[in-house]
Amino acid sequence: MADLLSPLPLNFFSKKPLDVKFSELSLSSDAGLLLVRQAEEKIKLCQGITNCLNDKREQAKVKHTLTQLITQRVYQIIAGYEDAKDSNRLRHDPILKMVCGRIPLPEAELFASQPTMSRLENSLSKREIKAIRSFFLDQFIQSYSEAPDEIVLDIDGWDAATYGNQQLSLFHGYYGHYMYFPFLINEAKSGYPLVLQLRAGNSHSGKGVVRLLRWLFWRLKRVWPKTKIILRGDGHFSLPEIVNLCERAQIGYVLGFISNSVLKRKISNLMEQARLQFIRTGEKARLFEDVYYAASTQKEPRRIIMKAEWLEKGANPRFFATNLLNPAQELYDDVYVKRGEASEHRIKELKLGINADRLSCHQFIANQFRLFLSQASYILMLAMRNASEGTQLGKAQVSRLRETIIKVAAKVRVSVRRILVELPRSCPFADEIGMIAEQLSGKNRLIFH
């Protein structure tokens, strides 16, 4: 191991002697977690997760409360330390101590280590998992002061590669590797993740969805009976059981529909018209038409919108099913196409910004809890982004938020009367940090819509 008190062997600067070494001062590179802690004060996310858990430990031997364990783990994920073993390296960080409610003195009690975190992840029951899932939905509902006129929900699945002997880690033929297959249901406008559910690696994209959709629709309809709810998804989710559920629950749906020989025959004339238009104009041709189609397993035909598109590379037909009455092209351009931005970008943020695909526990239920920790981290980062509205970070990706306002150097000094945190004067996003802090410390509540 290198001697951290010895200067680093750097000699490129010729103007004066250059000494670079690690300091014994109380320093941190994650000062932006103070802003995240302020956001937590408003929405009580980590505390709410803690309230869903039953502490089964012998209290006389407990050194770290459940609240501290949850907050420590969530803040570490936000700062880019997604593995439980990262706890061992961060136990002395003064900012992390502060955001978890401890005085940042070197002699203060250290944080929980990796074994403690791993025991927490593997201690949950199915009842606690259900309670946490309900809590996330409650948080979303409570962010509204009145019932919304309309809510658009996006559903999509994504692959999370697995690494070893993990329960229900199975080979998926389409993705070509061993994996889990989580799916996300998020609110389109805000990106709030209402449901983040883990599934076995060989699941069909629509498997296990109906049960949670039924629960989700029931909860939302019970609170907002007059709110129009629309579900969007790609062709993997246009299963008969999902469509039937939407119709019974009076939910609007716009779902991609997988082509078959019947639909190819129905769109053939329209495709020929698009081809001729492309030849005549030399520009992309798009034509839309409605048909009513029923598979052999369906009692009633349903509206299928056909898009006949001809590009320079050739035909590009698309189909989607809907029970909405809007004109075909309007539904495609204003509803269906925007599904990709609203769901795929959220999944990208979860995977690249939060590292939510780091699901390396052995037990399946423990990995579901890890997903919940990532879900909480993402919601807090959404709160940060909302608080930065009006700045150049108002539409920033989660990874960008981390790079600009979380990864900020700080020196921490503790005296009898106060704790002083000093940030660098040269911080390029000092104005944004100040505005976000002001927004988060105000009495206005954080909203996710």
Tokens 């937590």 sit on residue: 40
Torsion of CA 398, 196, 258, 283, to 10 degrees: -10
CB contact at 8 A, 186 and 153: yes
pLDDT attached to residue 449: 60
**CB 221 within 8 Å of CB 197:** no
CA-CA distance, 272 to 395, in Å (whole number)? 42
What is the rounded radius of gyration, in angstroms, for the C-alpha atoms of the chain? 26
Q: How far apart are the first and last CA of the chain?
A: 50
Helix ranges restricted to H, 354-426:
364-387, 398-401
Tell me the backbone φ, ψ of residue 27, rounded to 5 degrees: -120, 155
Phi/psi for 321 (5° steps) reads -100, 145
pLDDT given at position 1: 43
Task: Map out the domains of the chain as residue ranges.
Answer: 27-122+374-441, 126-259+317-360, 260-316
CATH number among 3.30.70, 3.40.50, 3.30.420, 2.60.120, domain 126-259+317-360: 3.30.420
Q: What are phi and psi of 298, to 5 degrees?
A: -105, 140
Contact (Cβ atoms closer than 8 angstroms) between residue 96 and residue 76 = yes
**For residue 234, what are the contacts with CB-CB under 8 A and spacing of at least 6?**
156, 205, 255, 256, 339
Which parts of 125-282 fold into alpha helices (H)?
126-142, 209-223, 240-248, 261-281
For 109, residues 6+ apart whose C-beta sits below 8 A from its C-beta are 63, 102
Q: 3-state class of 115 per DSSP?
A: helix
Which residues of the chain have a pLDDT value below 50? 1
At residue 256, the pLDDT reads: 93
d(CA 382, CA 386) in angstroms, rounded, equals 6
pTM listed for this prediction? 0.92
